[in-house]
Chain A
Amino acid sequence: MHGGRIESLTVAESRGVGVRLIVDGREGFAHAGTFDADVVDELVAEARDNAAFAEPDDRVGLAEPDGVDAVDLDPWDDRIGSTSVDDKLALAQELERATIDADPRVRNVRTALYADTRAESAIVSSLGIDGWDRGGSCSVSTSALIDDPDGSTRTGGAVDVAWAPQDLDVEKVARLAAERGVQLIGAGPPTTGRPVVVLEPRFAATMLGIVAGMLSGERVVKGRTPFADRVGEQIAAAGLTFADDPIDPESLSASSFDGEGIACRRVPLITGGVLNGFLHDSRSARGLGTVTTGSALRGVRGTPSPGYRSLSVAPGEGDLEGFIASIDDGLLVASLQGLHSGVNAVSGDLSVGVEGVVIRDGQLQEPIREGTLAGAIPRMLLDIVAVGADLERLPGGSLMPTLLLEGLTLGGGSSA
């Protein structure tokens, strides 16, 4: 939606199939975006041919059923299908108008979007795996363009995801997008220093997502994580406990089966700051002499690899308001930029662009932009000074509190 009109409307269906073949410890793979018989035949032949060129490895293999029963989740709401296109368009239209109306300083909206998706997947293997899953969700998102009196523009975005269009909170998304942009009016470069960094739940999800990515069993097997060989050790502050919980029925990322057709289950990752273990698929588990945690992720176009679906943090104490009041020198993060280029999951180095609001003497003060936050992820985990009790269910499905970190360097245009 743009300017009160429908900018574009896409209605589409796609399908795909991936074939993984293992011959004498060699794996071959092929995929196609169609069920046309000629292409599927070609693909099986290609997968078999590809296997001949891979080198054998005893870790290679399909997952064997492990006797764990899948939790019966059915994240599917018929209302996505039964809601008319006109009603969905009306949501996007309402979102655009509400974003503009949310604050007089909102000049325009870059995009106001409604989207929904429904997918079915099935996995069958020669070892007796036979799983079927379906899921659907819908979302609204908006990006507000806000006039800064200095002649520049500030932006603020927000998103909501739900099982059905009727559960989307358009007014809240519009208000949050406007607020997030408006709070940055007048922002300038920060002073270089080491403030206490306050991460609201959505940014806690970003940071702990990076950490969980480093706890992939495949990274451990291949020596690509600083956390290999650290099981049982204190790798984070004692206040941090979190798990991957893909079977939490409240999570929008919940799933019954993993990418190898193994039942999804709750996997504790860090308890009281101590590393419990890693996320495994059957291959990484074989590599470390353990068993799969049902954490294989995959799409049709690729082979499985282990990863998290829905992180869940145990509540600590305190909330955002109380934390701010307790901080003498801090930064409330408002946006993070450049995560894909600024995080090295192998070395653990972190360096990202940041916008935010300075906290001084227990109060929110001036906004900042064009700053950087940098540090080492292993150090950052140990420097978590507080985990809030204010758990929030995020659009991606994770359950996250406010986090307070020390030890990161805030870099900016002016020096102290």
Chain B
Amino acid sequence: MLDHELINRTLSTAMNTGGDFAEVFVEDKRSSSAMFDDGRVEELTSGRDRGAGIRVIVGDTTGFAHTADLTEAGLRSAAEAAAAAARGGGGGAKTVAVSPIDVARGVPARIPPEDVAKATKVGLLTLANEAARSEGVAISQVSARYGDSRRRILVANSDGLLAEDDQIRTLFSVSCVATGDTGLQTGRESTGRTVGFELFEETDVEDMGRRAAQRAITKLAARPAPSGAIPVVVGPGGGGVLFHEACGHGLEADLIAKGASVFANRIGDEVASPLVTLIDDGTMAGEWGHFAIDDEGRPAAHNVLIQDGVLTDYMWDQLRARKEGRPSSGNGRRQSYQHLPMVRMTNTYITAGSDDPADIIAATDYGVYVAQLGGGQVNTATGDFVFGMTEAYLIENGEITEPIREGNLIGNGPEVLTRIDMLGDDFKMGSPGTCGKDGQGVPVGDGTPTLRVTSLTVGGTAA
């Protein structure tokens, strides 16, 4: 993406005032999306962003500047701004020479999005709409969205590292509104993978439309959700959000270092039920949080965070790992070249247990079964987290009975982790997510088998 000599000169400029570390991150991203809403193809959008972010570290201080100007002059002025921001101590200049590293590339996208006609992409939207509307007259509105992106990145730093990646992601979602005597209800279905247009060889968009529609229609008959602490069974794939919030964020080394996590100083402790083995794995080819290198040029890795209930490690980026004298775990990510990298999750999942999912429900006298989760949020310092349920049912006498209205569940991470008492053998990855932290969003995946938490507080209106 950039000439190696130019990279060397830019890094040398960044190190000119005596930095300890300098890095150039170059990004060229193209995206396209098509939106169907209100009965017609509404809009196609194309986006292009390219630029470079330059980071200089002096002691504990990071200076950062970014530019959309990739000429030598543009890069030099950003490098000077970053060095000035880092408040270099006037140490000796350092000359930098980078050399490419070998990274095991993931499976390349077979059908790059730019090779597919726009008419073909648009056609998927119409199919999903028709399938959704065919589910019944109660379906009063359908929107569908197709999106793809191709993100080429280059990372080079003053340690001599030079690495590149080409990340292609494709996304499809359908949202329905159903209208009935009880008002309006919504149903959504989405899929996204780090692949090209071949996504649609395995994904049936009509089936997605039907499922989103059924979800909305089912909720028209939903009862108010219970309120208070009760057993909660989360279906396969869905529970990933729970772990993402209950402990994922709390295991990010930057929050640990600031004493802003309930999991600080707990390595080696039993922090979860012995059923729980939690893994963060950026190497899972095709998954939404997959990449070959992270946004600091480190290869993606398979990191075991909790093994049989015992906390084994945190997630690390370059900055935090460097201070601890250990390698990064490949979790340094950023939204774009305009952002500083920080510790982020990739694909976070709980390995399968041995219970039959049917037994988990049968063993629950009264509780809530959550079939689909929405987003979540956590305060890592207190451990209190919430996540939304967008499709849920009551469990009565060991059987799934009536649908309930959507709402949030709230719990405390360290408490909830110890309350997982059954784990299914039906592991599944969940829906694609965008994880937000300090204003930056990155794509993340998650997965779980069916699981039961003995007690979580459900935010319903029924007493």
Contacts and interface: CB of A to CB of B under 8 A. Distances in A.
Interface string B119-146: 1001000000000000000001100000
Interface of B: 34, 37-38, 40-51, 59-69, 81-82, 84-87, 118-119, 122, 140-141, 177, 179, 183-186, 219, 225, 227-229, 258-260, 262, 338, 340, 374-377, 379, 381-388, 405-412, 455, 457-463
A351 B459 CA distance: 6
Contacts, number: 270
Contact of A192 (B38, B410, B463): B463
Nearest to A339: B377
Nearest to B261: A153
A32 interface: yes
A152 interface: yes
Interface string A357-393: 0000000000001111111100000000000000000
B408 A31 contact: no
Interface in A250-302: 301-302
Nearest to B86: A9
A173 to B, nearest CB: 18
Closest 6 A/B residue pairs (Cβ): A372-B459, A341-B388, A351-B407, A411-B227, A338-B386, A50-B44
Interface stretch (A38-46, A118-126, A203-211, A324-332): A38-46
A65 interface: no
A341 B183 contact: no
A355 B228 CA distance: 15
A351 B457 contact: no
Given A221-B38, A338-B386, A375 B122 contact: no
Contacts of A8: 61-64, 340
A196 B420 CA distance: 34
Given A352-B386, A412-B229, 9 more contacts: A5-B61, A8-B61, A10-B64, A12-B65, A85-B85, A192-B227, A224-B141, A372-B386, A409-B462
Given A152-B262, A411-B227, A341 B377 contact: yes
Contacts of B84: 11
Contacts of B141: 222-224
Nearest to B219: A347
Contacts of B67: 12-13
Contacts of A321: none
B32 to A, nearest CB: 8
- Interface of B, secondary structure class, is strand
Contacts of B463: 192-193, 409
Contact of B258 (A51, A110, A303): A110
A27 B43 contact: yes
Contacts of B43: 27-29, 50, 54, 303
A5 B60 contact: yes
Contact of A145 (B34, B229, B259, B458): B259
A78 interface: no
B48 A372 contact: no
B228 A415 contact: yes
Contacts of B60: 3, 5-7
B139 to A, nearest CB: 11
A345 to B, nearest CB: 9
Contact of A153 (B34, B44, B62, B382): B382
A301 B382 contact: no
Given A14-B338, A30-B45, A338 B406 contact: no
Contacts of A307: none
Nearest to A351: B407
Given A145-B260, A353-B410, A347 B186 contact: yes
A412 B460 CA distance: 10
Given A342-B386, A371-B410, A53 B41 contact: yes
A: contact size bracket: 35 or more
A323 to B, nearest CB: 24
A46 B460 contact: no
A302 B145 CA distance: 14
A344 interface: yes
B228 A412 contact: yes
A232 interface: no
A353 B384 contact: yes
Contact of B384 (A13, A51, A370): A370
A15 B227 contact: no
Nearest to A287: B38
B405 A349 contact: yes
Contacts of A9: 61-64, 85-87
A149 to B, nearest CB: 15
A375 B459 CA distance: 9
Contact of A342 (B140, B379, B382, B407): B407
A338 B228 contact: no
Interface centre among B38, B60, B374, B382, by most A CB within 10 Å? B382
A337 interface: yes
Nearest to B185: A347
A226 B184 contact: yes
Interface in A153-200: 153-155, 189, 192-193
A338 B45 contact: no
Interface string A32-60: 11111001001100110111011101000
A54 B42 contact: yes
B457 A189 contact: yes
Contacts of A352: 386, 408, 459
B441 to A, nearest CB: 12
Contacts of A30: 45-48
Nearest to B340: A8
A220 B459 CA distance: 28
Contact of B457 (A193, A222, A411): A411
A381 to B, nearest CB: 15
A338 B65 contact: no
A341 B61 contact: no
B385 to A, nearest CB: 8
B64 A12 contact: yes
22 contacts: A9-B61, A9-B86, A10-B63, A10-B340, A11-B82, A12-B65, A12-B81, A12-B338, A30-B46, A49-B118, A54-B41, A55-B41, A55-B42, A222-B37, A224-B184, A226-B184, A341-B386, A348-B183, A373-B459, A409-B460, A413-B455, A413-B457
Contact of A189 (B38, B119, B229, B409): B229
Nearest to A109: B258
A338 B376 contact: yes
A110 B260 contact: yes
Contacts of A222: 37-38, 141
Nearest to B455: A413
B382 A32 contact: no
Interface centre among B48, B65, B463, by most A CB within 10 Å? B48
A234 interface: no
